[in-house]
Protein backbone atom coordinates (compact mmCIF):
# COMPACT_ATOMS: atom_id res chain seq x y z
CA UNK A 1 0.00 0.00 0.00
CA UNK A 2 2.83 2.39 0.86
CA UNK A 3 4.48 1.75 -2.53
CA UNK A 4 1.29 2.52 -4.44
CA UNK A 5 0.78 5.68 -2.42
CA UNK A 6 4.43 6.68 -3.03
CA UNK A 7 4.01 6.07 -6.79
CA UNK A 8 0.81 8.13 -6.85
CA UNK A 9 2.58 11.07 -5.24
CA UNK A 10 6.02 10.72 -6.89
CA UNK A 11 4.85 10.54 -10.52
CA UNK A 12 2.86 13.83 -10.42
CA UNK A 13 5.67 15.58 -8.56
CA UNK A 14 8.24 14.47 -11.15
CA UNK A 15 5.86 15.61 -13.89
CA UNK A 16 5.44 19.06 -12.34
CA UNK A 17 9.21 19.45 -11.87
CA UNK A 18 9.92 18.40 -15.47
CA UNK A 19 7.17 20.66 -16.84
CA UNK A 20 8.43 23.59 -14.77
CA UNK A 21 11.99 23.19 -15.99
CA UNK A 22 10.87 22.87 -19.61
CA UNK A 23 8.56 25.89 -19.46
CA UNK A 24 11.25 27.94 -17.70
CA UNK A 25 13.73 27.08 -20.44
CA UNK A 26 11.25 28.02 -23.12
CA UNK A 27 10.42 31.28 -21.33
CA UNK A 28 14.11 32.15 -20.99
CA UNK A 29 14.63 31.57 -24.72
CA UNK A 30 11.77 33.89 -25.66
CA UNK A 31 13.16 36.78 -23.61
CA UNK A 32 15.57 38.43 -25.99
CA UNK A 33 17.04 41.88 -25.59
CA UNK A 34 15.95 44.17 -28.38
CA UNK A 35 18.09 47.13 -29.30
CA UNK A 36 16.20 50.37 -28.96
CA UNK A 37 16.87 53.01 -31.57
CA UNK A 38 15.50 56.45 -30.83
CA UNK A 39 15.93 59.19 -33.39
CA UNK A 40 15.77 62.94 -33.02
CA UNK A 41 12.39 64.54 -33.65
CA UNK A 42 12.48 68.30 -34.21
CA UNK A 43 9.71 69.85 -32.11
CA UNK A 44 10.97 73.42 -31.89
CA UNK A 45 13.80 75.89 -32.25
CA UNK A 46 15.89 77.55 -29.55
CA UNK A 47 18.29 80.47 -29.43
CA UNK A 48 20.86 81.16 -26.74
CA UNK A 49 21.78 84.83 -26.33
CA UNK A 50 24.42 86.71 -24.36
CA UNK A 51 22.82 88.50 -21.44
CA UNK A 52 25.07 91.55 -21.80
CA UNK A 53 24.70 92.23 -25.52
CA UNK A 54 21.57 90.24 -26.49
CA UNK A 55 23.63 88.83 -29.38
CA UNK A 56 22.79 85.32 -30.55
CA UNK A 57 25.34 82.74 -29.43
CA UNK A 58 23.78 79.77 -31.22
CA UNK A 59 20.56 78.36 -32.67
CA UNK A 60 19.40 74.80 -32.06
CA UNK A 61 16.74 72.44 -33.26
CA UNK A 62 15.14 71.01 -30.13
CA UNK A 63 13.18 68.02 -29.05
CA UNK A 64 10.88 68.85 -26.15
CA UNK A 65 10.37 66.77 -23.01
CA UNK A 66 7.35 68.10 -21.13
CA UNK A 67 5.49 65.08 -19.78
CA UNK A 68 6.41 62.40 -17.23
CA UNK A 69 7.53 59.80 -19.76
CA UNK A 70 9.66 62.10 -21.92
CA UNK A 71 11.27 63.86 -18.94
CA UNK A 72 12.18 60.53 -17.34
CA UNK A 73 13.49 59.06 -20.59
CA UNK A 74 15.26 62.14 -21.97
CA UNK A 75 18.13 61.24 -24.27
CA UNK A 76 18.39 57.64 -23.07
CA UNK A 77 19.13 54.97 -25.69
CA UNK A 78 20.57 57.41 -28.23
CA UNK A 79 23.99 56.86 -29.69
CA UNK A 80 24.48 60.33 -31.14
CA UNK A 81 23.09 63.84 -31.43
CA UNK A 82 24.15 66.54 -33.89
CA UNK A 83 25.80 69.70 -32.53
CA UNK A 84 22.88 71.81 -33.77
CA UNK A 85 20.41 69.73 -31.74
CA UNK A 86 19.37 69.57 -28.10
CA UNK A 87 16.64 68.41 -25.79
CA UNK A 88 14.70 71.00 -23.80
CA UNK A 89 12.97 69.78 -20.66
CA UNK A 90 10.03 71.94 -19.58
CA UNK A 91 8.76 71.48 -16.04
CA UNK A 92 5.47 72.82 -14.65
CA UNK A 93 7.26 74.67 -11.84
CA UNK A 94 10.60 76.12 -10.88
CA UNK A 95 12.57 73.97 -8.44
CA UNK A 96 16.03 72.58 -7.77
CA UNK A 97 16.60 69.89 -10.40
CA UNK A 98 18.95 66.95 -10.57
CA UNK A 99 19.71 64.83 -13.61
CA UNK A 100 21.76 61.67 -14.12
CA UNK A 101 23.03 59.75 -17.13
CA UNK A 102 21.44 56.32 -16.68
CA UNK A 103 21.13 54.58 -20.07
CA UNK A 104 22.47 57.70 -21.81
CA UNK A 105 25.20 56.75 -24.26
CA UNK A 106 26.45 60.22 -25.22
CA UNK A 107 28.34 62.71 -23.05
CA UNK A 108 26.30 65.86 -22.39
CA UNK A 109 26.39 69.37 -21.00
CA UNK A 110 23.31 69.89 -18.82
CA UNK A 111 22.22 73.53 -18.70
CA UNK A 112 19.79 74.56 -15.95
CA UNK A 113 17.58 77.55 -16.78
CA UNK A 114 15.31 79.65 -14.55
CA UNK A 115 11.65 80.46 -15.13
CA UNK A 116 12.91 83.80 -16.53
CA UNK A 117 14.86 81.79 -19.14
CA UNK A 118 18.27 82.69 -17.70
CA UNK A 119 21.03 80.10 -17.28
CA UNK A 120 21.49 79.43 -13.55
CA UNK A 121 24.08 76.62 -13.71
CA UNK A 122 25.80 74.18 -16.05
CA UNK A 123 26.92 70.61 -15.44
CA UNK A 124 29.67 70.08 -18.02
CA UNK A 125 30.77 66.82 -19.61
CA UNK A 126 28.31 64.49 -17.90
CA UNK A 127 29.68 60.97 -18.37
CA UNK A 128 27.64 58.41 -20.32
CA UNK A 129 25.86 55.74 -18.26
CA UNK A 130 26.88 57.39 -14.95
CA UNK A 131 24.13 57.48 -12.31
CA UNK A 132 25.78 60.20 -10.22
CA UNK A 133 23.37 63.00 -9.39
CA UNK A 134 24.09 66.26 -11.26
CA UNK A 135 22.13 69.00 -9.45
CA UNK A 136 21.31 72.56 -10.37
CA UNK A 137 22.75 75.39 -8.27
CA UNK A 138 19.45 77.27 -8.25
CA UNK A 139 15.79 76.61 -9.05
CA UNK A 140 15.17 75.77 -12.72
CA UNK A 141 12.04 75.45 -14.81
CA UNK A 142 13.92 74.44 -17.97
CA UNK A 143 16.86 72.14 -18.60
CA UNK A 144 18.72 72.01 -21.91
CA UNK A 145 20.88 69.03 -22.82
CA UNK A 146 23.47 69.44 -25.58
CA UNK A 147 26.58 67.53 -26.61
CA UNK A 148 29.41 67.69 -24.08
CA UNK A 149 31.83 70.55 -24.62
CA UNK A 150 29.43 72.85 -26.46
CA UNK A 151 28.83 75.09 -23.43
CA UNK A 152 32.58 75.83 -23.46
CA UNK A 153 32.67 76.31 -27.26
CA UNK A 154 29.80 78.79 -26.94
CA UNK A 155 31.35 80.39 -23.84
CA UNK A 156 28.05 80.10 -21.95
CA UNK A 157 27.78 81.89 -18.62
CA UNK A 158 25.25 82.19 -15.84
CA UNK A 159 22.79 84.88 -16.84
CA UNK A 160 22.83 84.10 -20.58
CA UNK A 161 19.27 83.64 -21.83
CA UNK A 162 17.27 81.35 -24.07
CA UNK A 163 14.28 81.91 -26.32
CA UNK A 164 12.40 79.06 -27.93
CA UNK A 165 9.38 78.22 -30.02
CA UNK A 166 7.67 74.86 -30.18
CA UNK A 167 5.74 73.47 -33.11
pLDDT single digits (tens) 44-69: 999 999 999 999 999 999 999 999 99
Name the 3-class secondary structure at 8: helix
Same domain, 66 and 5: no
Q: How confident is the model at residue 38 (pLDDT cuts 50, 70, 90)?
A: confident
Q: How many domains does the chain have?
A: 2
Task: Spell out where 26-157 has E strands.
Answer: 44-49, 56-65, 85-95, 98-99, 108-113, 119-126, 134-135, 140-147
Residues linked to residue 89 through DSSP beta bridges, in sequence order: 65, 143
- Is residue 91 one of the residues assigned to a domain? yes
- For residue 112, the tally of other CB atoms under 10 A from its CB is 27
Range of 125's domain? 44-166
- Is residue 38 one of the residues assigned to a domain? no
Q: Hey, what's the torsion of the CAs at 116, 121, 123, 124, to 10 degrees? A: 100
Same domain, 91 and 136: yes
Q: What's residue 4's pLDDT?
A: 52
CB 136 within 8 A of CB 98: yes
Q: How far apart are CA 97 and CA 143, in angstroms?
A: 9
Same domain, 28 and 67: no
| pLDDT tens-digit series, residues 82-103 | 999 999 999 999 999 999 999 9
pTM: 0.79
What is the mean pLDDT of the segment spanning 144-153?
Answer: 98
**pLDDT for 24 beyond 80:** no
Same domain, 88 and 25: no
Amino acid sequence: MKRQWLKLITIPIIGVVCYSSISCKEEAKSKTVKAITVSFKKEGELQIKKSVSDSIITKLDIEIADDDYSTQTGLMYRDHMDNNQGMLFIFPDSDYRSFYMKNTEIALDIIYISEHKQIVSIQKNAKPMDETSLPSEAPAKYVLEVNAGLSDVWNLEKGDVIEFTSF
